[in-house]
Structure 1
Amino acid sequence: MILEKSGNLLDADTEALVNAVNTVGVMGKGIALPALVETVERYGIQSIAIPALGCGHGGLTWEEMGPLIRTTLEPLAATVEIRLYPPVPSR
Structure 2
Amino acid sequence: MDTKTIADRVFQVEDAAGRTYRATRYVWLDNVAAEGHPEDWQEIAHLLMTEYGGILDPDPAGAGCFVVDGTGTRVRTVSEEA
TM-score (norm 1): 0.25
> Which is strand-richer, 1 or 2?
2
> Looking at CA atoms only, which structure, 1 or 2, has the larger radius of gyration?
2
More helix by share: 1
TM-score w.r.t. structure 2 length? 0.27
Task: Pick 1 or 2: higher relative contact order, CA cutoff 8 A, min separation 6.
Answer: 1
